Chain A
């Protein structure tokens, strides 16, 4: 089988050496140049002590450095562990303790480098300015002869409490995504691809780094937090033909779109990450003349496992299982539920993880005896089409990113005014949001000033996507007989 970096990227370059592989901040990189940078970064990483069997934590934003650093690690036989580039330093310390990398890579001055130093782990400051010099100065590494079952990628995801779970994906998984999701998406050499989800997430990783580069297409990278005006500007300026994004950004782009702007170069729009509201689906189609594609997947499956393409896409529905993936709705005893009856969505297929890293207790909980991965999502199947109904646990998404309610609750509980707290998902104006239900100490009243203070308090302790937008006061939290907060009741009763 060989190393996936060679087979899915480097070996193909002679077909299109001068085509543009990537664009970032008005800079261009040809396939030949990217190939040299990948080989060089493989050498750099190796020279810093990260070789076969060791792991590299990559906190770079979407950039040429990410592409070259990520593929370089895997080329040399190391495991790449990309993490969100916009986390607080404490989050990187937790990731370092959990993943135990031999090297941390991040831009100069980035707090992940400080976290690495504190943990006594080697750190490499890398950005697009220093990348060519570093890569050219290193002895290029020859591709490590990887085996199909060798772990190549670690993705970090979090549970209800916010403690990271580490999801390993193998060399074979890269080949399977390239083949099956490559077929599903049907990207072409003349495509210009922009995915608003970052490459530290599975969605951004296969959409920006894997699928375009195996067909000779161009990927457009945006190192900053996704914003509607800049994404629209990139769509026009870079003549983007394939846009992959999340419902919140599609909604915002509609709000920012001026009547005079024509998105003529677009041919394919993919929405994933959350259910797309029907209103956004319809308005986007009206604005662009394009019907939406939809995809459903999880960090644990690495890629889409359910999806739909026009003209089959139906608003609010995820679609059909993408061959060769199997999707099944299971009842409480893990038996297939009849069509039309809601149950727990299980997935089996070539890129499903074999288990969380070093966490057999979590792994046991998410697999059936038949080897179906239990997604934690409630779903219903009718005529082979799946609709996602919600979570089985208390996890939820806001703006396309997972929120761990317990983590937000702990942040708010550390404020002196808060006696009790429960956090749920909610929605306003069609956008998903984080809602905190608080019981205050000493008969205090929640006014606008305190609301703002609580938000600031939370903002200092949490990733931006977890900061509560709405804070409501309750006299008491609804509890079950065993004393657990009924978050379900808060979500639907408030």
Chain B
């Protein structure tokens, strides 16, 4: 079953403050919508816990939107 942006919002519930997460448009850059570096590291840690996937520094500068992250998780999971 593929991961959606809505699934990720649940996975990231503890990583990103609720008021920030509630307003996030999954098609727009997260860092432009109140997500800071603390939240990004917490999101990467949450992805590791939830799906066993590791976000590399290269992924870290490329995955801008919640939709980008969902598509990336699905690609990585399909390849493993």
Contact = CB atoms under 8 A, between A and B. Distances in A.
Interface of A: 227-229, 248-249, 251-258, 277-280, 283, 399, 427-433, 448, 451-452, 455, 464, 467, 469-470
B38 A399 contact: yes
A433 B43 CA distance: 12
A446 B62 CA distance: 32
Contacts of B31: 228-229, 252-253, 255-256
Contacts of A399: 37-38
Given A229-B31, A256-B29, A429 B56 contact: yes
A255 B64 contact: yes
B19 interface: no
Given A279-B61, A433-B41, 17 more contacts: A252-B31, A252-B37, A255-B61, A255-B63, A256-B64, A258-B29, A277-B60, A279-B58, A279-B60, A427-B57, A428-B55, A429-B41, A429-B59, A429-B63, A430-B60, A452-B14, A470-B42
A227 B33 CA distance: 10
A252 B57 contact: no
B76 to A, nearest CB: 13
B71 interface: no
Nearest to B62: A283
Interface of B: 14, 29-32, 34, 36-38, 40-45, 48, 55-64
Contacts of B42: 433, 469-470
A64 to B, nearest CB: 26
SS class of chain B's interface: helix, strand, loop or mixed? helix
Nearest to A256: B31
SS class of chain A's interface: helix, strand, loop or mixed? helix
Contact of A464 (B34, B38, B62, B63): B38
A180 B19 CA distance: 47
* Top 7 A-B pairs, shortest CB-CB distance: A430-B57, A429-B60, A428-B44, A256-B31, A430-B60, A255-B31, A429-B55
Contacts of B29: 255-258
B6 to A, nearest CB: 18
A469 B30 contact: no
A467 B38 contact: yes
A428 B39 CA distance: 11
28 contacts: A228-B31, A229-B32, A229-B34, A254-B61, A255-B40, A256-B64, A258-B29, A278-B57, A279-B60, A283-B61, A283-B62, A427-B41, A427-B57, A429-B43, A429-B56, A429-B59, A430-B55, A430-B56, A430-B57, A430-B58, A430-B60, A431-B40, A431-B44, A433-B41, A448-B14, A467-B38, A469-B45, A470-B42
A228 B35 CA distance: 9
A254 B64 CA distance: 8
A279 B60 CA distance: 8
Contacts of B55: 428-430
A427 B44 CA distance: 9
B61 to A, nearest CB: 4
Contacts of A227: 36
A177 B30 CA distance: 39
A257 B48 CA distance: 26
B32 A277 contact: no
Given A249-B37, A430-B61, A452-B14, A258 B32 contact: yes
Residue among B30, B58, B59 having the largest count of chain A Cβ atoms under 10 Å? B58
Given A229-B32, A255-B31, A469-B45, A429 B14 contact: no
Nearest to A455: B14
Contacts of A258: 29, 32
Contacts of B60: 251, 255, 277, 279-280, 428-431
Contacts of A277: 57, 60
A477 B69 CA distance: 34
Contacts of A428: 40-41, 44-45, 48, 55, 60
Nearest to B14: A452
A258 B64 CA distance: 10
A451 B45 CA distance: 12
B52 to A, nearest CB: 14
